[in-house]
Chains A and B, each alone.
Chain A
Amino acid sequence: MSLALLVPLFLLGVAGVVVPIVLHLTRRQRRNLVQFPSLMFLEKIPYKEQRRRRIHYWFLLTMRALALALVAIAFARPFFQQDTAGAGAAAGPREVVVLMDQSYSMEIGDQFDRARDEARRIFNGLGPLDRASLVMFGRGARVVTRSTADVSQLERALDTVQVSSSITRYGPGLKVAQTILEESELPSGEVFLLTDFQRNGWTGDEGIRLPPGSKVTPIPFADDAPDNVQVTDVSLAREALSGRERVTPTVRLARSGGEQAQEVMVALEVDGRELQSRPVTIPPNGSATVMFQPFTLSQPHTRGTVRIPDDGLLADNARNFVLSPGTSLSILIVEGSAAPRDASLYLRRALAISEGGRFEISFRRANVVRQQDLDGIDGVIINDANIDGGSAERLRGFVEAGGGLLLLLGPASGWPSSAAEMLPGTLGSVQDRIQGRGGRLGFLEYGHPVFEAFSGARSGDFTGARFFRVRGFTPSDSATVLARFDDGSVALAESRYGRGKVLVWTSTLDNFWNDLALQPVYLPFAHRMSEYVGGRTEALPWFVAGQVVDLADPEALEMAGLVSAEAAGLAEGLDQVALTPSGQSVVLPVGEGPRYLPLEERGFYTVRPPGSDPDRPFVIAVNVDLEESILGKIDPEELVAQIGTAAVGPDSGQDFAQATEMRLEDMERRQSLWRWVLIAAFALFVIETLLSNWVSRRSGVPGVATG
């Protein structure tokens, strides 16, 4: 038996015994302490040194130093080491993590069942001291059972898992495994990766670093890629006919694999009833398009599915969608009384040209906006009007409540200073750009919804428009400049105000100050800007599995297909119950903050208040992410090599060292000598203090031990 230290590094603290001496000898006045990045270049110029005082009471100093040394020794955690011969002779217990892929590509053949059997075999092979976890992963990762030695519990958990509608991402699962291994106290770890090793699930940027001594064992379950036909897209063209909306579905199919052309029957179901079916022939590794006859869309939340017969991969054989009859945006155009008679002609004509009456235009020719003018209006366009203070206050309330306001600046435009903070800047004087052939638009913020549609090549050319006259505009700090002319001056600026937004276009939208109205891009630009001002959100016919919808967010609900009033009602309404495609109920109680509904299954989610059974409940369609249908494989060894761990065997020296380390720690914990050493140090401090006070009273000199 010998005395040992668990953390000998703390013995460096013994050096602290010199602190009282050094303080005594070197204590000097320091004034004006200046913090400086580095003293690398500064020469050391000491002050004139003080007279060093002599040490009179060595025994007091010795007691202090001894007490400090004991504190350092206590922190080094001393213990009596017993014979450890034979320690580590046996391999240490393992922390086993079984990562099991549940993405929908695992449903090919019997891959998932084989993976389940393999996981069961791993659990049955655990040693008596081993612990194991079961982690299912797809887009994310879920710990089903965490670090247990109970094999029966692990097997019961295995019976409950099933294939999901998710895609494969190795990163989250491996991160969870990394966390489990890092938190484990067992000396070695092993990760079993049970998957079909799809290449799409690994980017190489995951940054996985398993703890040293961990081992990854890949177990692939990839069958040969089957002959797979998938519904890749459904286009839903709408047209208004006799006041009713008709939808023409066009379906695109793609086929991977195969050796001969194959005829596939494509069926269109609406509200659970098959309406039409069309045969189509698809060549090997080719694609085909099917157009169905139009059907009338009269009911909100109409459910539709395009389906093809079952093949090797079932999840991509159907595409679900939800449609509701469209609604129009109410736009108020206010034209100044002094503006030219045709100032809004082009704008009104442009907004009148839309499929299915997307815009409902009301018009007012005055400099005053009344409250009744704003009732039921989604967006207001002020076209070259000199707005008075009262109108500006009414518009302020309109914008604060979530409305949109667009100012088109012309010669007569004006805005009261009392509401100047509403605008994204201050208006300036009229500026002529008659040099050459006028000004051009030089910069557009293509990331903004107004210009997003024009961001692609050949998607609209704004450079053809010439601007001969603009109003000066100085943007404020909080404004976002969305467009600039080629001289850098502002063309379009935006700022948020309350729940709404205010945009300023510094020229007109007629053909007097510029010829933008004569350009092909004018019509889509006027539509996009009006839709943005009116707050229209494009409804998505379907979501992708893995996305999340916030039922407390009206904008998200509008995107999911609800009209504004419905969305606001649902967002602020009572508790909601969502029914998943598999029939599970998810209660979403009303309250502060978001109400997230995770869309994890493919099919239709139905949302309704609890206890009610409306005829047309709010429905969300969910489809699988087709990225998972690309069945390219990654070499398991390549993936393991990128994970960043060395495959260390259970009998390696590192494991042995770790196991030994743990036993020493246990030994020290049982003895806990540090407590006694610390008590001794404390006692020494007390005695030294008492002695010091006694000596100082006798000599009348404070702190005589070290000065």
Chain B
Amino acid sequence: MTAHVRTPATGKGGTQFLDPAVLGRISNLELLAKTVVDGFLTGLHRSPYLGFSTDFAEHRQYMPGDDVRRIDWKLFARSDRHYIKLFEAETNANFMVLLDVSKSMSYSSHEVSKLDYARYLAACLTFFSHRQRDRVGMVTFDHEIVEYVPPSMKRLDTILHVLDRAEAGRAGSLHEPAMQIAELLGRKGILVVISDFYEDPDTVLASIGPLRARGHDVIVFHVLDPAELAFPFEEPSGFEDLETGEQIPVIPNRLKDDYIRLVKDHLEKLKRRFTDNRIDYTLLDTSQPLDLALFRYLLAREKAGKTR
């Protein structure tokens, strides 16, 4: 394995395709995922399709960081240039996205809701993994499993369709769906959990921990809206819980500091618990481009020894 992930130049190149506000104008999820992944990969200057296995496919120009053992010295003798030999990669692993479609995910304080952001992310990662020749699958859940697409090489279209029609409608709870998913997934693989985790960190760990314990590589993306992190409200208002419908009167000026402190504690506790359980955790702000998530995913794959 010789993959080296580099950060592309900021503001230019592939990252222009990663801005959620721009992506929101593309209605076709497959086109969106293709645009993001292609743009992202162009920025990386690396081919995602080929790896080093047994079936020779073609040559590629040597790039700093490539394994020098892969250089084709005979070709070097003929062409005076360094090339490395690429091989048809084999099917790697089961790649499964667990997407939270509970009502709270529909919240947005700007153009892109948390669910939209999570859908873009899920589509990109699934598309990406499909390009990596993984078997890709998808589970959407709220307090139970809403849609389940088993991992397969042939179901990218089904997954994109499921993502396309995913709607946030009901209250969510991670525990029951996670238990069901643990039963459904026989083969070890990569699980990406995308949620806003409005539950006690201990409950979250009790739900996701068994998946990790079964040998899956679990990557968690915690998607939050900027307003949930900064609490920019000023006027005294009634606040209604999107999932339960409960309403309480709130005077934001009195409450803001305490709210931010509680959220920060919650995030730190979540991060600590996940890290202790060797689960990759990334907090995502829906106003930020998708590249952070894609890089975190690549890093996680690299750690798991699954990149080529």
Q: Given the known A-B contacts A33-B237, A457-B57, A458-B56, are A45 and B47 also in contact in the complex, defined by CB atoms under 8 Å? A: no
**CB pair A41 B241 closer than 8 Å:** no
Residues of B within 8 A of A (CB): 13, 26, 38, 42-43, 45, 47, 49, 55-61, 79-81, 83, 87-88, 104-105, 107, 114, 148, 150, 152, 196, 198, 225, 228, 233, 235-244, 246-251, 254-255, 258-259, 262-263, 266
Docked CA distance A555–B248 (Å): 62
Which of A31, A34, A462 lies at the interface centre, i.e. has the most chain B CB atoms within 10 A of its CB? A34
B26, B83, B107, B114: the one contacting A36 at CB < 8 Å is B107
**CB pair A32 B225 closer than 8 Å:** no
Docked CA distance A361–B240 (Å): 71
Q: Quick one: closest A residue to B43, CB to CB?
A: A488
Q: Quick one: closest B residue to A40, CB to CB?
A: B198
Tell me the A202-244 residues at the B interface (CB within 8 Å).
205, 207
What residues of chain A lie closer than 8 Å to B83, measured between beta carbons? Answer: 463
**CB pair B247 A30 closer than 8 Å:** yes
Which of A38, A46, A440, A462 lies at the interface centre, i.e. has the most chain B CB atoms within 10 A of its CB? A38
**CB pair B88 A45 closer than 8 Å:** no
Q: Given the known A-B contacts A37-B196, A41-B262, are A461 and B59 also in contact in the complex, defined by CB atoms under 8 Å? A: yes
A36, A47, A436: the one contacting B241 at CB < 8 Å is A36
Shortest distance from the beta carbon of A178 to any chain B beta carbon, whole Å: 16
Shortest distance from the beta carbon of B49 to any chain A beta carbon, whole Å: 8
B42, B79, B152, B255: the one contacting A42 at CB < 8 Å is B255
**CB pair B250 A42 closer than 8 Å:** yes
**CB pair A37 B237 closer than 8 Å:** no
Per the CB 8 Å criterion, the residue count for chain A at the interface is 36
Which label, helix, strand, loop or mixed, suits the secondary structure of the B interface?
mixed
Docked CA distance A443–B34 (Å): 13
**CB pair A442 B237 closer than 8 Å:** no
Docked CA distance A179–B55 (Å): 46
Tell me the A614-664 residues at the B interface (CB within 8 Å).
none
14 A-B interface contacts by CB (under 8 A): A31-B236, A34-B250, A36-B107, A36-B239, A39-B239, A39-B248, A41-B263, A42-B255, A45-B254, A45-B255, A443-B47, A461-B59, A463-B59, A463-B83
Residues of A within 8 A of B (CB): 30-47, 205, 207, 436-437, 440, 442-443, 446, 457-458, 461-463, 477, 481, 484, 486, 488
What residues of chain B lie closer than 8 Å to A446, measured between beta carbons? Answer: 49
**CB pair A30 B47 closer than 8 Å:** no
Docked CA distance A41–B47 (Å): 45
Docked CA distance A41–B81 (Å): 61
Shortest distance from the beta carbon of B34 to any chain A beta carbon, whole Å: 9
Q: Quick one: closest B residue to A47, CB to CB?
A: B249
Shortest distance from the beta carbon of B158 to any chain A beta carbon, whole Å: 11
Q: Quick one: closest B residue to A30, CB to CB?
A: B238
Q: Given the known A-B contacts A36-B107, A37-B104, are A486 and B255 also in contact in the complex, defined by CB atoms under 8 Å? A: no
**CB pair A484 B81 closer than 8 Å:** no
Docked CA distance A437–B61 (Å): 11
Apart from A37-B114, A42-B250, A45-B249: 4 A-B pairs, beta carbons within 8 A:
A46-B249, A207-B150, A446-B49, A458-B56
Docked CA distance A47–B258 (Å): 18
What residues of chain B lie closer than 8 Å to A43, measured between beta carbons? Answer: 255, 258
Shortest distance from the beta carbon of B47 to any chain A beta carbon, whole Å: 7
**CB pair A38 B241 closer than 8 Å:** yes
**CB pair A457 B107 closer than 8 Å:** no
**CB pair A34 B198 closer than 8 Å:** no
**CB pair B249 A481 closer than 8 Å:** no
